[in-house]
Structure 1
Amino acid sequence: MRLLFKACMAALIISASVHAEIVDPRISMLQLLDEKDFEQSFQLGETHFEEWAGDADFDYLYGIAARNLGQHQKAIFAFERVIMNRPQDIKARAALAIAYYQLDNYKASQREFERCLALNPDPELADQIQNYIELMEDKALAQGQKWYGGVAASLGYDTNVNSGLGDTQTELPFPGLGLLPVRFAIEEDAQWQVNAQLGYQHPLTKSSTLFTDIAVNNTEYQDFDQYQKTSADLVMGYQYKGDTSQYKLLGYVQPFWLGDEHYQNLAGVMFDMTWFTEDQSAWVWTSSITRTNNQVDDNLSLDAATTELIWRIPHGRSMHSLSLGVSAERVREFNELSQHNERDLVFVGYAWQSRIADWAGFGVSIDYQESDHKHDDLRFLLDEEPFFEPRHDKTLMLGLDFSWYFSSDWSWQTKVRVSQKDSNVVLYDYDKELVTTGFNYRF
C-alpha cells in the first residue's frame, strides 16, 4: 500500500552522524519501494540490518519490503519495533495488522486494526481498514464451515441382556387361573457395537452457527438376536456464542429398531442456555419436549417434558459436573392398558472427567433417578382389583471410563456401566452390568 509508506517518507530527515562514513540506506530503500522493487529494497535492508535495526524509519521500510516478499514474520518483528518507539504511529500499526492478516491470524489483525481506528486515521485509511475487517469476517466465516464426525467400534459383555429377575419365582395373576408362579431367568451375552456420526456446521456470523448431524448406532448380541438395537439420530439446530453466554436450539428425530422390527419413532425439540462465570465455571440449563410414537403398541406412545440444570466446574485438567432435573411423561391415549405408563421423574448426577496426561483420560459418573407412576397397572388384576400398587422405581447407575489416546484423532476406550434398579413392582427389580472396550476415531 503506497499510502502506508510513500507520503510519510517523502520528507525523511537524515540526522547528522559522527560516523559520516556510515551510508544511510533509508533513502535508497524508499526509492526502491516506490518503484516496487521489493527484492532490492529488502536485500539493502538485510545488508544494513545490524547497524540500523531499531531505527523506526528503517524498520518500517524493512517491514514493508519483507511483507511484500512473503517474509511475514520478519515484517511483524520490524513493525513491532516501530510501535515500541512510536506507539501512535497509525501507518505502522496498519502495516502490522496487514502482516497478521496475510498470516491468517485474524484475531491479532482485528486487534491492531481496532487500535488504528482508535487513533482517528484519515478517511482514506479508515476505509481501507474497514475493508480489511470485512474481508476477515468473510474469511473467518468460510473457515468456520466444516465437516466433523467419527466412527467407533467395541466389544462388550452384558450380564443381563433381557433385564431378567433371576432364579426366584414370581407369582402373577392369570384370568380364570388365579396366581401362578413364573420365573424370569437372567440371560448373559457378549455383544458388539458400531457407532458412526457425520455432521456439518455453517457459520452465519462470527457468533452464530447453523449445524446438522446424523448418527447411527447398532448393538448386536452373540446369541440373542431378538435384542439387537439399532437407532438413527438426525439433528438440526442453531447456536449463538456470546462473550459470557451461549444458547442452542435444535430439533431431532430418532427411529429405533428392536430385533428386526421397527419399534418406535421419537421426535423432539431442545433448548439449552449456558452462562459462563469469571472463574471459568458454567451454568447450563436445558429444556426439551419429546414425542414417542410406538410402532408396535399404541399404549406405549408418550409425550414428555424435561428440564435440567447443570453446574460445570473446571479444576486444572479436570472437569466436575453436577446436575439436577425433572421430567414428566404422559401417554398419548389414556386407557386401562396405557395409564400405568404415566410417570414423573427426578434425577441427580455427578460426573468427573480428567485428562491424566497427553495420552490418557479417566472419568467417573454417578446418576440416581426416582420415578413415580401415576396410576394402577390394570393389566394385572386379582378379583377385579389391581394386583400391584402404582409403581415406584429407584435406579442407581455408576460409570467408569478410561481412554488411551494414540493421537488427536484416535483413541482406545474402555467403559464399565453398573445399574441397580429397585422397584415395588417385582417385574422391574433387577441389576445389570455392562463392560465394553474398543477404538474411537474422531475428525
Structure 2
Amino acid sequence: MSRLIVAACAAALMLFGGAARAAPADELRAFLEGGRSAEAYALGRRHPEELGKPDFDFYYGIAAVDSGHAGEGVLALERYVLNRPDDLNGRLELARGYFVLGEDARAREEFGIVLAAKPPAAVEAQIQRFLDAIRARESQYRPSAAFALEAGYGYDSNANGGPAGSSLILPNGVGVTISERFVQAHDTFTHLLASASGSRPVSPGILLFGVASFDTRRYDTERRFDQHNLAGSGGVTLIREKDIYRGTLSINRLYVENDRYRDVSSLSGEWQHQLDELQAVNAFVQVAELSYTGINELRNSYFYTAGGGYQRALIHRWRPLLRASLYGGKEAVKSTERADLTRDLYGTRLTASLTPAERWALGVGLTYQRSDFDGGDPLPAGFAPLPPRRDKYWALDAGLSYALTRALSVRGELVWSQNKSNNAIYEYDRNTAALKLRYEFK
C-alpha cells in the first residue's frame, strides 16, 4: 500500500498557493503536472547550477522522490524548507520524502505540522493515508491489532451453483432429468462478518501474526444454502531489506444450513521481493487437506498449489495498482471410489485498483481457472462411460467503496461468473451483487 501512496501524491502538490518560478523550475513543474516525473528528474540533473535555488529545489525534490531517488529529493526539499519554513507545500513534500526513506518519526512530525494548519479536506485525507501506512509499517517493531465488523445485503442469481434446467444431455448422449432441488435457485441474502488480526515482533525483522474471522451468508428463502464460515490463521513473517518471507498455518470450517460441511487445514509459504519503488514480484506454495462430512467424505483430498505474481504501481493521480498472478496445482482425492474427482488445475488472476477521487476506491478483477479431471462421473452398468470432465471457470468482479470516515466505509460489489464444462450437470452462470457497510477499529 505504501508504494501506491508514494506514487500518487503529486496531485496534491499545491495546497496554499505557489512561489515565484525560475525558468528551469517552470520546466520541472510542467513535467510534474504531466505525470512525467522521471523526465523532470533527468532535466533537473542537467542543471546542477540551479541547486540551492528554492523554486528549483522544490520541484526537483518532488521529481527525485517520485522517480525513485528519494535521498536526493529529501536533500533538495530540506534546503527548500530551510529557506521557506512557512511554506506548507514544502513540508508536505518533505514529509512524503521522509516516508519513502522509512524515516517515520520525521515524516509524522512534518505531516503533523501540515495537519495543524487545517488543510483542505482532500489533503487531510491524503495525509491520513500516509499516517495509516506508517502505523502499518510500525507493526514491524511494535505490537499491533485491528478489528472489523461488516454487514450487507445482496442478490445471488444462482445460490447453489446449479444448471439452468433439469433436462440435460450427458457427454455420452444420454438424456437425464435431475431433481429440481439441484437446479439454479436465485435469492436475496444478508451478509455479516467479524474479524480480528494482530502481530507481535519477536526480534528485528521477525514478526508473529494471527487472524481470526467469522462470516455468514443467510438467504431469505433458500435457507438450505445458508453458509457460515469460521477461519483462523497464524504464522511468522521474516523481513530482510527488499525481501519478505511468510509462513502461514490456516484452518477453516464451513457450515451449510447449520451443518458442518467441510474442514480445510493448510500450510503455505510466500516470498515477496520489492524490485523498486513501484514494482514487486512474489511466489507461493501451499499444501492443504480438505475433509468433508457425511456422504461427501468420498471427496476428501489433498490440495497442492504453487504460483507467482507481479505488481506495479503507476504514477498517476488515480494511483493505479496493477497485479497479475499465475498458479497451478493438483487436487488428489483419497478415495479410490471417486478417483475421477482428482484433477489438475491452473489459472490466472488480473486485478487493478484505482482511487478516482478522495475517499473513493475502485477495484476490478478477472479470474480464469481450468480443471482437468482424471475421469467422468461414474454411471450404472450398461451405460457408455463418460469422458474425463473438463471445466473452464471465468469470473469478472468489481467493487466501489467510499470512506464515510477513517473507520467507516460503504462498498458495492458485483461478480459475474460462468463455469463451462463438457458435462452439462456442471455448467452454470452465477451473478451476485451486494452493498456492504464496514467499520474498522485501528
In the alignment, what sits opposite 1:419? Answer: 417
The C-alpha deviation readout for 1:106-127, integer Å capped at 9, x for no partner, is 7569xxxxxxxxxxxxxxxxxx
Instruction: Report the Cα distance in structure 1 between the residues aligned to 2:176 and 2:363, rounded to whole angstroms.
Output: 46
Q: Percent identity?
A: 18
The C-alpha deviation readout for 1:329-381, integer Å capped at 9, x for no partner, is 0012222xx21210011101110001122210101101111110012322x23
**Residues 354-369 of structure 1: matches in 2 within 5 Å?**
354-369=354-369
Question: TM-score, normalization: structure 1?
Answer: 0.65
Asked if 2 retains the 8 angstrom alpha-carbon contact of 1:304 and 1:327, the reply is yes
Asked if 1 retains the 8 angstrom alpha-carbon contact of 2:167 and 2:176, the reply is no
The one-letter amino acid of 1:326's match is G
Decide which of 309, 319, 322 is 2:321's aligned counterpart. Answer: 319
Asked if 2 retains the 8 angstrom alpha-carbon contact of 1:159 and 1:189, the reply is yes
Asked if 2 retains the 8 angstrom alpha-carbon contact of 1:167 and 1:183, the reply is no
1:329 aligns to 2:328 (yes or no)? no
Asked if 2 retains the 8 angstrom alpha-carbon contact of 1:353 and 1:361, the reply is yes
Larger radius of gyration: 1
In the alignment, what sits opposite 2:129? Answer: none
In the alignment, what sits opposite 2:177? Answer: 181
In the alignment, what sits opposite 1:431? Answer: 429
Asked if 1 retains the 8 angstrom alpha-carbon contact of 2:228 and 2:258, the reply is no
Instruction: Report the Cα distance in structure 1 between the residues aligned to 2:240 and 2:406, rounded to whole angstroms.
Output: 27
The structural deviation recorded for 1:198 is 0.7
Decide which of 203, 206, 212 is 2:204's aligned counterpart. Answer: 206
Structural RMSD (CA): 2.5
SS at match of 2:356: strand
SS at match of 1:226: helix
Instruction: Report the Cα distance in structure 2 between the residues aligned to 1:376 and 1:395, rounded to whole angstroms.
Output: 18
1:252 aligns to 2:250 (yes or no)? yes
Instruction: Report the Cα distance in structure 2 between the residues aligned to 1:142 and 1:290, rounded to whole angstroms.
Output: 28
Question: TM-score, normalization: structure 2?
Answer: 0.65
1:285 aligns to 2:287 (yes or no)? no
Q: Structure 1 regions of 5+ residues with no counterpart? A: 1-79, 85-104, 110-139
In the alignment, what sits opposite 1:267? Answer: 265
Count of residue pairs the alignment pairs up: 304
Change (3 A) 1:405 1:237: same
Taking CA–CA contacts closer than 8 Å with sequence separation of 6 or more, which of the two structures ends up with the larger relative contact order?
Answer: 2
In the alignment, what sits opposite 1:190? Answer: 188
The one-letter amino acid of 1:181's match is T
The one-letter amino acid of 2:412's match is T
**Residues 62-211 of structure 1: matches in 2 within 5 Å?**
144-167=142-165, 169-171=167-169, 180-182=176-178, 184=180, 185-211=183-209
In the alignment, what sits opposite 2:380? Answer: 381
The structural deviation recorded for 1:186 is 2.4
Instruction: Report the Cα distance in structure 2 between the residues aligned to 1:370 and 1:217, rounded to whole angstroms.
Output: 28
The one-letter amino acid of 1:245's match is D
SS at match of 1:144: coil
The structural deviation recorded for 1:280 is 2.3
Asked if 1 retains the 8 angstrom alpha-carbon contact of 2:170 and 2:424, the reply is no
The structural deviation recorded for 1:269 is 0.4
The structural deviation recorded for 1:197 is 0.5
Asked if 1 retains the 8 angstrom alpha-carbon contact of 2:320 and 2:353, the reply is yes
Asked if 1 retains the 8 angstrom alpha-carbon contact of 2:140 and 2:207, the reply is no
1:304 aligns to 2:303 (yes or no)? yes
The structural deviation recorded for 1:279 is 4.5
SS at match of 1:299: helix
Instruction: Report the Cα distance in structure 2 between the residues aligned to 1:204 and 1:404, rounded to whole angstroms.
Output: 36
Change (3 A) 1:434 1:199: same
Asked if 2 retains the 8 angstrom alpha-carbon contact of 1:141 and 1:205, the reply is no
Change (3 A) 1:155 1:183: same
Instruction: Report the Cα distance in structure 2 between the residues aligned to 1:310 and 1:209, rounded to whole angstroms.
Output: 23
In the alignment, what sits opposite 2:344? Answer: 344
Asked if 2 retains the 8 angstrom alpha-carbon contact of 1:158 and 1:190, the reply is yes
Runs (4+) of structure 1 moved beyond 2 Å? 105-109, 140-143, 178-186
